[in-house]
Amino acid sequence: MDYTYEKLLGKHISDIRKAHNMTQEELSTKLQLEGCDITRSALAKIEVGQRRVYASEIRALSSVLSVSCDELLV
């Protein structure tokens, strides 16, 4: 995965989160309840493309944000 794609993916995740009227804190809490140990800080880094997203996190994001994995990945 290249840096440009990571930034694009992070922005897409941020846009979907905002469309669900969720803060980063709310999303990270819901992800933790799904068993995905991710902090608000880690989520913020994902959204700006500074941190990679792992497969287990994609699955949890998909579930919490009610979108398919295909819809989540741009």
pLDDT in tens, 23-73: 999 999 999 999 999 999 999 999 999 999 999 999 999 999 999 999 999
Residue 21 phi/psi, 5° resolution? Answer: 55, 45
Contacts of 5 (CB under 8 A, 6+ apart): none
Going by C-alpha positions, the residue among 15, 18, 4 that lies closest to residue 49 is 4
Domain count, the chain: 1
- Tell me the CATH number at 60: 1.10.260.40
Q: Is the pTM of this model over 0.75?
A: yes
Give me the pLDDT at residue 36, please: 96
Which range marks the domain in which residue 28 is found? 3-72
Distance CA 25, CA 9 (A): 19
